[in-house]
Amino acid sequence: MQSSARRLSAPLARCSRRHIHCSASARDLVGPPDPVSNLRPVYYDDPLPAPEAKPRPRLRHPYSLREFSDPDVSTAEPSIHDLELQYKLLRQQTDAFNHAFWTDSNLRFESAKATILQSLPSSSTPTDRDTALTHFYQQWLNQESARQEEYTAEWRRRNWDGIVLAARLEYAKLKAKFSGAGADSDA
């Protein structure tokens, strides 16, 4: 018992000796499926990023580094805050796009299916019902294929945009880490 307690406390002791900054991990939550779209909503744990204070260079430099960085210049790189905000908004927009598409598609599908079933005579057998639904399903797939292909192309484009934006964000964070942004010395 004592050895297991020692094993558990050893990583904590090493962590505190090294002065490692550990941040809380984000935990996104997945909700129950929507009754119409059948998609499970994701509740993201990362709040909108707070505006960052002007970073101060860590290293002493013979020239003023702020002299050459003008945020109003159109060619300036977006800040980490801007990239985080763009990434969060893109994820939310993609989720809303998916939800809207599948809600509309499923409502139209169920409505058309109900119309087919109501058009059958009351004396129809289960085999007649299955045959009518088989024809309906085939017709639905043929009718919706172009719309589905447009959706899939747009969905893939949005996902690639998200991957590229996430890579840009991580690169900006890495670049800021190595450039010394956020330190408290100036001159």
pTM of full prediction above 0.95: no
Contact 117, 129 (CB under 8 A): yes
Rounded Cα–Cα distance for residues 182 and 187 (Å): 14
pLDDT band at 185 (very low <50, low <70, confident <90, very high): very low
**120-172 per-position pLDDT tens digit:** 999 999 999 999 999 999 999 999 999 999 999 999 999 999 999 999 999 99
**61-81 per-position pLDDT tens digit:** 566 656 665 555 445 577 898
Residues 6+ apart with CB under 8 A from 162: 87, 90, 91, 94
Sign of the Cα pseudo-torsion (40, 43, 44, 49, in order): positive
- pLDDT of the residue at 45: 82
Backbone angles phi, psi at 42, to 5 degrees: -105, 130
